[in-house]
A = this chain, B = another copy of it.
């Protein structure tokens, strides 16, 4: 970052971010150029602060500033139920429902053979250790909330096969038509899952 055109370098750096194409990167760069210095200082500081302060929980692998994280140490959460997700951001999506009061486990990915990601690349060992602890508040249910994708499904199946023999209940989140959605705009796979997963009224 020593020589060259600062604006071109910024555009190049921004383009490396996910979902930012050449056009967006240019628009952002020009916006940064026009924005007061203090605001850009703040943004840069916020980026570096995240890198400095945020780490991963040694129990559940969720992001946290204090290890272990608040979800793992909270006395108000039920240790007998663990919700397994792929990424830290998925925890926020589940917390938004205000309906789950168990603990979490973040796999940090999903099994994806084509991308060379196998079970050993995920935080599965830690999950097994949590299940097999034999404490009074022994884990009774693992809710597998990996994504409804090929990788997420493969990971869910793998976990079920691994965990069921340990005497723990393994459940999978329901797949179906999204609330407020329109059946006309629902793809065939989702529709099939919705019919397959139908419930008595």
**Which residues of A line the B interface, CB within 8 A?**
1, 5-7, 9-10, 12-14, 16-20, 24, 26-33, 37, 39-54, 63, 65, 87-89, 92
Contacts and interface: CB of A to CB of B under 8 A. Distances in A.
4 closest A-B pairs by beta carbon, nearest first, are A44-B44, A10-B46, A13-B46, A6-B49
A189 B184 CA distance: 33
B89 A46 contact: no
B32 A27 contact: no
A26 B63 CA distance: 13
Given A37-B51, A88-B30, A63 B19 contact: no
A119 B48 CA distance: 41
Contact of A51 (B17, B30, B33, B88): B33
A55 B193 CA distance: 57
Secondary structure at the A interface, as helix, strand, loop or mixed, is: helix
Given A6-B65, A28-B17, A63-B7, A41 B48 contact: yes
Given A19-B27, A28-B18, A89-B30, A45 B7 contact: no
B47 A44 contact: yes
5 contacts: A7-B54, A10-B50, A14-B43, A16-B39, A44-B47
Given A6-B46, A40-B48, A49-B10, A26 B65 contact: no
Contacts of A65: 5-6
A8 to B, nearest CB: 10
A92 B12 CA distance: 15
B31 A63 contact: no
A16 to B, nearest CB: 7
B18 A49 contact: no
Given A19-B24, A28-B18, A63-B33, A48 B44 contact: yes
Contact of A1 (B17, B29, B30, B49): B49
B29 A50 contact: yes
